[in-house]
């Protein structure tokens, strides 16, 4: 009989998903899910290190301004070095632990940049392109007249020109910590090298030239047919009335 093994997976705290998101330089409040009393003892930990502690009104570690009136932790001007697990410990005046309290992970993400919106017209359709600098963990939303287009989340948006004519379109790029929107854009398919309106004009020009050429060919053919008919009639008359050369 083959031996059986019990397999255990050790989950590191670094694998805990992010619970708070912020951009560099922002102030972040880590909430305390407890109604703090005046005589309670409060500790806040960053990982395994105590970054704030107080016993009743007396601050033992840290300083005023590190917590709010309700005991929530305040992190100022965060950076990537502030990414970690944060968790509180609370004991009442009798030394009874009021927890446990869940730890929460802070993740600091680069702020997204303002996207650039362009439009290209071709074959009576408009292709809007939302260009942005970020390459991953970015969500794109499209808006028409200020209303979100729920089924559109790709970098490009394709619409018939008649459906977006004189209509403001914009895109929004966001991550878990920030968002930016592009400028509004109204597609104008009467301008630009790719505009279907200009192509339509060229079709009219070349189509008109073709009609004129066809008319010329028909006129020439008709004239030639008339000449042949006249020559044939003259030949028949000559055959009907022969000339007596001896007269």
**pLDDT for the residue 234:** 61
What class is the 116-181 domain? mainly beta
- pTM (whole model) above 0.95: no
Q: Residue holding tokens 């060229």?
A: 202
13-108: which CATH architecture?
A: Sandwich (2.60)
Query: Is cis: bond before 228, omega within 30 of 0?
Result: no
Q: How far apart are CA 226 and CA 99, in angstroms?
A: 111
In eight-state DSSP terms, residue 113 is P
Length of the chain: 247
**pLDDT for the residue 134:** 73
Q: How far apart are CA 58 and CA 142, in angstroms?
A: 52
Contacts of 162-165 with C-beta under 8 Å, sequence gap 24+, read 162/124, 164/126, 165/189
Task: Let me know the angle formed at the C-alpha of 136 by 134 and 139, rounded to the nearest 5 degrees.
Answer: 85
Query: Which tokens in the block code for residue 24?
Result: 């560099």
Query: Which tokens in the block code for residue 133?
Result: 């600098």
Q: What are the residues facing 156 on neighbouring strands?
A: 129
Q: Residue holding tokens 């940049």?
A: 113
**pLDDT for the residue 227:** 75
**pLDDT for the residue 207:** 61
* Per-residue pLDDT of the chain in tens (247 residues, 90 and over written 9): 444 433 333 334 457 899 999 999 999 999 999 999 999 999 999 999 999 999 999 999 999 999 999 999 999 999 999 999 999 999 998 889 998 999 999 999 999 999 999 999 988 899 999 998 876 789 999 999 999 999 999 999 999 998 998 899 999 999 999 999 999 998 888 654 444 445 545 445 556 666 777 778 778 777 877 777 776 666 655 555 454 444 3
**pLDDT for the residue 187:** 84
**pLDDT for the residue 6:** 35
**pLDDT for the residue 67:** 96
Query: Which tokens in the block code for residue 219?
Result: 């006129």
């Amino acid at each position: 009989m083959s031996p059986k093994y019990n397999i255990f997976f050790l989950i590191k705290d670094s694998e805990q998903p992010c619970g708070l998101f912020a951009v560099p330089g922002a102030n972040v409040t880590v909430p305390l899910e407890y109604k703090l009393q005046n005589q309670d003892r409060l500790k806040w930990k960053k990982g395994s290190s105590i970054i704030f502690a107080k016993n009743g009104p007396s601050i033992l570690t840290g300083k005023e301004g590190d917590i709010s009136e309700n005991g929530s932790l305040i992190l100022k001007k965060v950076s990537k070095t502030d990414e970690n697990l944060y968790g509180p410990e609370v004991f009442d005046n009798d030394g009874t632990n009021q927890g446990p309290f869940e730890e929460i992970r802070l993740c600091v993400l680069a702020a997204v940049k303002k996207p650039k919106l362009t439009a290209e017209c071709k074959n009576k359709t408009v292709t809007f392109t939302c260009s942005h600098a970020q390459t991953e963990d970015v969500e794109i939303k499209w808006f028409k007249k200020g209303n979100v287009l729920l089924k559109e989340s790709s970098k490009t948006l394709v619409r018939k020109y008649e459906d977006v004519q004189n209509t403001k379109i914009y895109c929004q790029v966001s991550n878990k910590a920030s968002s930016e929107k592009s400028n509004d854009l109204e597609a104008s398919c009467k301008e630009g090298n790719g505009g279907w309106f200009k192509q339509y004009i060229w079709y009219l020009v070349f189509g008109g030239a073709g009609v004129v050429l066809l008319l010329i060919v028909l006129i020439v053919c008709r004239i030639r047919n008339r000449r042949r008919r006249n020559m044939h009639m003259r030949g028949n008359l000559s055959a009907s009335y022969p000339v007596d050369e001896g007269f």
